[in-house]
Chains A and B, each alone.
Chain A
């Protein structure tokens, strides 16, 4: 069963080797312990950034979203309004997903309501639109995979990103999305099969038309 802990591929650059349990760490953060807060940021910053970048394709925006999420967590913890019930990660990444949805909504709104010929609107559009990414994936396999992931439907893409970019366990994803675990596992299975089909189709097309 693949209910693995946080994948090593997304650990922060300055990981805490001892990886203390989350409950006492959160309690220390609530008491404004800066060392505890540093550990918490080191544990989740890269995962939040990767998730945000996967959606926005904009490093600055992704960092701002990660920062906004952590600021919300810091405020909630220090105000004493967070009650730890073993669901910190679902809560943390739910905040992140809500921020990303808000961003997507704003970007869509700006694209829809911009006036033609308005230079400010054009600049906003450039800022809101995801940058084209021909150069960020030097590996053609990764470029094909990114295109394939983007062709999934919203639910499947969200699940893939929460699992691989955010590095969440399926159980945490089930709590985050408030869906049965079995449903998510089946959806993940289906999404992987779909990705495999898309990738094979793309590679056969490339071979046919080099």
Chain B
């Protein structure tokens, strides 16, 4: 129990409190006769909780909803949505420019060919051929003075005889 300060006067204006009680009594008296009996009949707990209804409230009409219709509508809408999405994806895939892999492939093939040729040219076979050529050239160079001398004298003799 909460203690109340005894100095607090809880009814400072008894005349006004009495007038407020009169107002409450007047309000309570505005009901039609038999309020308690009506409320008892309307709210009496019975075996079935469904009887606890508001008697004065008019029965609201029951609206039956065809659930199958809404289900069919939902399925149709879902199918339509899925079809639309599929068509969109299809359209996107067909309109996207495809990259031709032949061009970069060809370019890479040329590069690879060049590289292969370069490697081929640097192989020892070619080096051996080059050295053979150089040897042949050196032999020709060694034989060159004797040939020159012989041709020179042969030439002079032939001119002198002319």
Contact = CB atoms under 8 A, between A and B. Distances in A.
A149 B47 CA distance: 43
12 contacts: A3-B4, A7-B21, A10-B25, A13-B35, A14-B36, A37-B43, A53-B30, A75-B52, A78-B49, A137-B26, A165-B23, A196-B16
Contact of B57 (A64, A70, A196): A64
B18 to A, nearest CB: 9
Interface residues of B, number: 44
Contacts of A77: 45
Contact of B43 (A1, A13, A67, A79): A67
Interface of B: 1-2, 4-6, 8-13, 16-17, 19-28, 30-32, 35-36, 38-40, 42-47, 49, 52-57
Contact of B8 (A9, A37, A71, A189): A189
A114 interface: no
A182 interface: yes
A181 B16 CA distance: 21
Interface of A: 1-3, 7, 9-10, 12-14, 29, 32, 34, 37-38, 41-42, 45-47, 49-50, 53-54, 59-60, 62-64, 66-68, 70-71, 73-75, 77-79, 136-137, 139, 141-142, 145-146, 149, 160, 163-165, 167, 170-171, 174, 180-182, 185-186, 188-189, 192-193, 195-196, 199
A152 to B, nearest CB: 12
B31 A62 contact: yes
Contacts of B2: 171, 174, 180-181
Given A64-B54, A181-B4, A37 B16 contact: no
